[in-house]
Structure formats: structure tokens, C-alpha cells
């Protein structure tokens, strides 16, 4: 499964243990007051990613993800920069640089490149989006461009976390027993994505 195949709007339930399904959980809606970005460690972190089509199937589609976390200043704000590079056994197929406000983890900037679809820039401060060098506007008639731009505008009206930083978001959550997190994720380039995750 790739991020491009995630439905435009969906709810995901992550249950760490099937025994927890029948238990009652408190729900915490995640906002800027409920995260702790100080737990993120600057430096380069690497992940081996693979896919399985069933319990007894072999692992396939190996990928190697490098993610570099840096504490920076960006346009007058204390910020966190996360640079990613994804590669498979043939080539580097994805690069992305995401910048978030350090305290709230709100997205400030997101520049992404996919080998198949090219580059896009989402600037949350200037409130602009460009796809393959073309600035998107309200007057776009293309269904795809319109959907991308409307989702981006909607993300500016609420507290969202960048879905593309899922591996950095999960450590900053306020974990405790019997809690369900309701997280409003937005993956730049797609529609808002809501995720419910239980501990």
C-alpha cells in the first residue's frame, strides 16, 4: 500500500492488542496542547519498510527510508525540519522536506518529489500550493487540481498534523492506558485524513 492509494477520507483504528477491543477507552482529541515535540531526537533515523500480503506470505517490496530531524529557525519561528529520502533496490523514488512549528507541530512548509509524479510545494505561511511548478488557485477547473487546493485550504482552518510525518507524530502523543487518540491528519496533495488510534 502506498500513501497515494489511501482513500480521501477515512478512519483508521489501530488496535495494539485484540484483547483491548472489548475494553472501554477514553478519547483524547489531539491538539497543540497535547503533544510533546521535545521527545524528537535530532539526527538521521533509518527504517526498513516491507509489505506482506498475508500472515504466511513472504516479505516483498523492500524500501529503505532515511529521515533527518533538525531543529531550525524558519521565517521567524522555532521549527523542526524533517527531510526524508525513500529508496528501493533500484532507485530513490521519493524525497520530501517538511517544516513544522516546534511547539505545536503545525505544518509550515512541505516540499515533496515523487519519481513518477514530480514536485509539489505546500506553503502554509503564504497559503500557496504549486504542483509541477504551477501555482494552484480557486479558478482551477481541473478536478484533480481543485481537490488538492480545496483540501489544502481546509487544512488551514483547523489544527492538523502532517500525515507524511506519521513516524514523528506517534512518539509525541500523550500515551497512557486505555486511551484512544483522535488525530486530524492532513497529507499534502490529498484530502484531509482523520485517524483514530488506540493504545
Question: What are the domain boundaries of the chain?
Answer: 3-198
Q: How far apart are CA 85 and CA 87, in angstroms?
A: 7
Q: What is the pLDDT of residues 5-29, one digit of tens each?
A: 333 223 333 434 444 455 677 899 9
Q: What is the pLDDT of residues 151-163, one digit of tens each?
A: 999 999 999 999 9
Task: State CA 34 to chain mean position distance.
Answer: 18
Q: The whole model's pTM is what?
A: 0.84
| Element at 28 (helix H, strand E) | strand 26-29
Amino acid at each position: 500500500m502506498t500513501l497515494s492509494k489511501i482513500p480521501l477520507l477515512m478512519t483508521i483504528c489501530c488496535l495494539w492488542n485484540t484483547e483491548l477491543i472489548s475494553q472501554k477507552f477514553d478519547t483524547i482529541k489531539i491538539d497543540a496542547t497535547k503533544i510533546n515535540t521535545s521527545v524528537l531526537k535530532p539526527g538521521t533515523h533509518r527504517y526498513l519498510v516491507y509489505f506482506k500480503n498475508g500472515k504466511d506470505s513472504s516479505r516483498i517490496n523492500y524500501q529503505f527510508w532515511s529521515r533527518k530531524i533538525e531543529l531550525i529557525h524558519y521565517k521567524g519561528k522555532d521549527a523542526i525540519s524533517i527531510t526524508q529520502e525513500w529508496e528501493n533496490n533500484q532507485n530513490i523514488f521519493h524525497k520530501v522536506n517538511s517544516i513544522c512549528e516546534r511547539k505545536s507541530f503545525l505544518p509550515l512548509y512541505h516540499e515533496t518529489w515523487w519519481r513518477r509524479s514530480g514536485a509539489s510545494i505546500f506553503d502554509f505561511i503564504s497559503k500557496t500550493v504549486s504542483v509541477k511548478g504551477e501555482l494552484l488557485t480557486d479558478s482551477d477547473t481541473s478536478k484533480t487540481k481543485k481537490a488538492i487546493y480545496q483540501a489544502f485550504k481546509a487544512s488551514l482552518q483547523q489544527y492538523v498534523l502532517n500525515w507524511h510525518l506519521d513516524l514523528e507524530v506517534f512518539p509525541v502523543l500523550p500515551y497512557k492506558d486505555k486511551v484512544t487518540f483522535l488525530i486530524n491528519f492532513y497529507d499534502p496533495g490529498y484530502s484531509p485524513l482523520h485517524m483514530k488510534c488506540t493504545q
